[in-house]
Amino acid sequence: MQFRQKIKVLGLFLAFLFPATCSALEIRRVAVCSGVVLRMRGDIKEGDYSRFKSHFKRSESIVGLDLSSGGGDLEEGLLIADLVRRKKLAVYVAGECDSACAFVFFAATSKHFGQQSRLGVHAVSDHRDIEDRGSMVLTVKLARVSAKLGVPNAVIGKMVTTRARAISYLDQADLSALDASAGDPFDYKPEKTTEAGGQPQKSCSSGQARQALK
């Protein structure tokens, strides 16, 4: 079964386990020399995958994500992760990235983390935070999806054995096994103003200069 088909099957379980919620993920486009980075902050909610996917319809090439999220809707997170994998994007975790967010990180072609970042995993529960038979089955299915993404057994083990109300953070050994690198791959130098006091001039001669798109 293909990865995307597995997500659709999981979605049937998730639709039963979790109620519908409103979209809340903040997605901001940031220009870099090589294209566009999507700066994503907040919980992942229903409808966020469609909003995320719509950014790829524009002419500018999206090269990666600057991501911080406490988690949220697992089905939406897995769909976002699948698109990240298919688009071969780089992902940088600037702060917290837990639960559904971690799958987006796992799906990245190149994975990067900041000095203050934390990546957390745990098992699945229903909308009442109860681990019932259905959520336990789903945890096993997610473990198999994780293996397809190349997630190391040690990380999968943390996810499966950590109760849904708790969280286990990845340590340096886990990040090394994921081939993750420290540092922002989209780092840039601040723009310099002109001597005459005019508008800042953007330069891509050193690193990947970027500025917020209005």
**Nearest alpha carbon to residue 77 among 28, 142, 148:** 142
Weakest-pLDDT range from 84-88, 121-125, 167-171: 121-125
- Provide the token pair at 76: 């939406």
User: Mean pLDDT across the stretch 154-174?
Assistant: 94
User: Mean pLDDT across the stretch 137-156?
Assistant: 90
Q: How far apart are CA 45 and CA 71, in angstroms?
A: 9
**Domain residue spans of the chain:** 3-179
- Report the amino acid identity of residue 154: A
- Provide the token pair at 41: 């902050």
pLDDT confidence bin for 2, thresholds 50/70/90:
low
Q: For residue 196, is pLDDT > 50?
A: no
CATH of 3-179, one of 3.90.45.10, 3.90.226.10, 3.40.50.1820, 2.40.10.10: 3.90.226.10
Q: How far apart are CA 137 and CA 150, in angstroms?
A: 20
pLDDT confidence bin for 130, thresholds 50/70/90:
low
Weakest-pLDDT range from 20-24, 33-37, 57-61: 20-24
Provide the whole-model pTM.
Answer: 0.79
